[in-house]
Amino acid sequence: IEQLEKWCLKNSIDIEKSETGSDPASVAFRTLEKAKKNNYNFCIIDTAGRLHNKKNLMDEFLKIIRVMKKIDENAPQKIIIVLDATTGQNALNQIEEFNKICELSGMIVTKLDGTAKGGVILPIADKYKLPIYAIGVGEQDDDLHPFHAENFTNAFLKK
């Protein structure tokens, strides 16, 4: 939460945060309710830490989606998974399990600044027809870049 708070403050973005131990679905409900009330153009619900092999967290994720639909039957409009490039082939399992419970809209791939090449994202994008929205190459303000397939391929082949 601290990292998100920092980014929101820096960019003058409202944040609805939870108290330790709060029900994530109730926080999502309050957040979407606030966004609707204030006519925000978009609302991001960060569900970081949802591991595909933790049933209770995946059940919690489904609950978040159900609760959001009480406010907006079309919610969520997009579900974007953030993949850590260092997980390698495990990323395929993550996508597979998330796809069983929701329809993913796309992905962001992080930690491409280290030794991870991110080669697993190409078969994922192809198999699941998921667009790659962005790549993360560090923790600085300008380290999240729009994904360009040609640039990524050229950089990947050079490694």
State the pTM of this model: 0.86
Kind of pairing between the strands at 132-136 and 144-146: antiparallel
Helix/strand/coil for 76: coil
- Looking at 28, 49, 77, which one is the last position of a domain? 77
Please, which pLDDT band fits residue 1 given cuts at 50, 70 and 90?
Answer: low
Q: Which domain holds residue 114?
A: 78-159
- Looking at 38, 58, 77, which one is the last position of a domain? 77
The total number of structural domains that make up the chain: 2
85 and 66 co-located in one domain: no
Rounded Cα distance between 138 and 49, Å, is 19
129 and 66 co-located in one domain: no
The tens digit of pLDDT for each residue in 32-54 reads: 999 999 999 999 999 877 666 68
CATH number of the domain within which 141 lies: 3.40.50.300
What is the DSSP code (8-state) at residue 108? E
